[in-house]
Amino acid sequence: MKYRRVLLKLSGEALSGSKSYGIDAGQVRYYAEEIAAVVRAGVQTAIVIGGGNIFRGIEAKEQGLDQAQGDYMGMLATVINALALQNALEQVGVPTRVQSAIEMQRVCEPFIRRRAIRHLEKGRVVIFAAGTGNPFFTTDTAATLRAIEIGAELLLKGTRVDGIYTADPEKDATAQRLSHISYREALERRLEVMDLTAFTLSQEHQLPMAVFNINMPSALYRILAGESVGTIVSAR
């Protein structure tokens, strides 16, 4: 495999599958099998998962809820998703640990950087939950931060489209997929790859990013094997 250690960012909505809300067990099982394939190939894999299928802090703010309070509620939703994914991974034989930025000892481990790295070295998947543990930061930022902390060689963002396009492919039929783009060009084109905080952090630390369709079978494996799948964002 081309990469030794990676971090995969999954949205909470991805776990809902065909449902409009909640967790689709079949969809979670699919992701577990895709992740298991790369773990068995020797890739140390960490995951950051969102909580939008259960609760979104931004929407709560629009409804009059205090943003900080809403963000904390969203963090707890990510823990629920992390536990669901942990269960699915262990059912397919992959040892897993959940580490939360908000301590809840009866449910999961607290986030400790050195312990997380040790788990990865032992072949365990580490799922980072509760974002950064702070309000006003997205799980995109949490994914970038954790990837840098554990020394990941690649940050993977699993989406429902097969890469970054010159325009929204769901709205513009002439949009073209880019196989590779630099951080600078993505900023100049105002392409919404990740939120600005996460994107700037990746750029500063020269952390390459792969954007791909997580629902395309074996796409994750093929990227980590070095095939040209999705879009790579890097310094050059």
For the stretch 184-231, pLDDT in tens is 998 888 887 888 899 999 999 999 999 999 999 999 999 999 999 999
33-75 pLDDT, tens per residue?
999 999 999 999 999 999 999 987 667 777 788 989 999 999 9
The whole-chain average pLDDT of the chain stands at 93
Averaged pLDDT, 76-86? 97
For 60-81, letters b (16+ CB in 10 Å) and e give beeeeeeeeebbbbbbbbbbbb
Arithmetic mean of pLDDT, 20-45: 96
Who's near 137: CB < 8 A, 6+ residues apart? Answer: 71, 131, 197
pTM across the whole model: 0.94
Q: Quick: pLDDT tens for 127-182.
A: 999 999 999 999 999 999 999 999 999 999 999 889 998 887 778 888 888 999 99
pLDDT at 151: 98
Angle between helices 139-150 and 113-121 (to 10 degrees): 70
Q: Could you tell me the domains of the chain?
A: 5-234 (3.40.1160.10)
